[in-house]
Amino acid sequence: MKKKIIENIKTLFYALLIALIIRSLLFQPFYIPSSSMEPNLLVGDRLFVSKYSYGYSKHSFPFSPNIFNKRIFSSKPQRGDIIVFKTPADNRTDYIKRLIGIPGDKIQIIDGFLYLNEQKIKRNKIDHLKTIYCGNEIMSVDAYEEELPNGTKYLAVYRKDFTMKKTDKFIVPNDYYFFMGDNRDCSKDSRFLGSVGYVKFENLVGKARTIFFSNDKNIGNIYKFWKWKDSIRTKRFFKNIK
């Protein structure tokens, strides 16, 4: 009996060790709790983030142990990547946003248009998308397919009746990055220097890769199995993230 208990403990230990290695070095699941990345990521999406995409820092591991001074095996992110990062405010809270500016970039919103290095970002209006969530509110929006200089295209939405018309010019410092939510008027991101601001390279956790599960909490949470037929978004299962 004692031998069996010891064997079970060993099995559990090895299982936990393998799970920790996978979570820290390969892939980690994340849940989308807010509307800041709609229409591309919805509240209730569950996705995998690749931990190896930009190398490893202390934030690659649970509880961010102080084991590295800088990133190791590092690789630079690209404009347009959707990235999970630790907020500079507490180095603990996970945010997910789209990378818009890399070190040295100049970013500004002028008359509701996004400018990168003094050049207006290309965009084409999308007519079929008229409304979107911001928390529990449904707001009317103008939707655009924006294209960054490296060719990355994505959907971004701007509130019809109130959008950020003009900002100061943001100049991204060395070793820092500038992030924005695709739901531009429903996102706390690098435009707000007092709460998020520029994000240090060390704070990047990983690149969003694939949605593996999605549930519309406005219809029913995951525990209300009798509502699964209506609440589970099967069309989003195993959808690659762009």
Helix (H) or strand (E) holding 17: helix 2-21
The CATH class of the 2-105+172-240 domain is: mainly beta
Average pLDDT, the chain: 91
Active-site entry in 36, 57, 60, 231: 36
Question: Is position 57 annotated as part of the catalytic site?
Answer: no
Among 65, 117, 68, 81, residue whose Cα is nearest residue 199:
81
Token code pair at residue 141: 């929006």
In sign, the C-alpha dihedral spanning 203, 166, 79, 172 is negative
Residue identified by tokens 């601001």 is 197
In order, the DSSP letters of 52-67 are SBTBB-GGGSTT--S-
pLDDT category at 7 given cuts 50, 70, 90 is confident
Q: Which region among 55-69, 96-110, 178-192 has the lowest average model confidence (pLDDT)?
A: 55-69
pLDDT band at 139 (very low <50, low <70, confident <90, very high): very high
What pLDDT does 8 receive? Answer: 65
CA 176/CA 85 separation, integer angstroms: 12
Stretch 80-98: mean pLDDT, rounded?
95
- Among residues 51, 58, 86, 97, the one annotated as catalytic is 97
Whole-model pTM: value is 0.91
**CA 42 vs CA 38, 54, 98, 171, 224: distances in Å:** 6, 24, 14, 30, 19
Each domain of the chain, given as residue ranges in start order, spans 2-105+172-240
pLDDT at 51: 95
Q: Are residues 25 and 56 in contact, defined by beta-carbon separation less than 8 angstroms?
A: yes
* 20-51 confidence digits (pLDDT tens): 787 888 899 999 999 999 999 999 999 999 99
Active site residue 97: yes
In Å, how far are 59, 84, 106, 107, 170 from 62, measured between CA atoms? Answer: 7, 14, 34, 33, 32
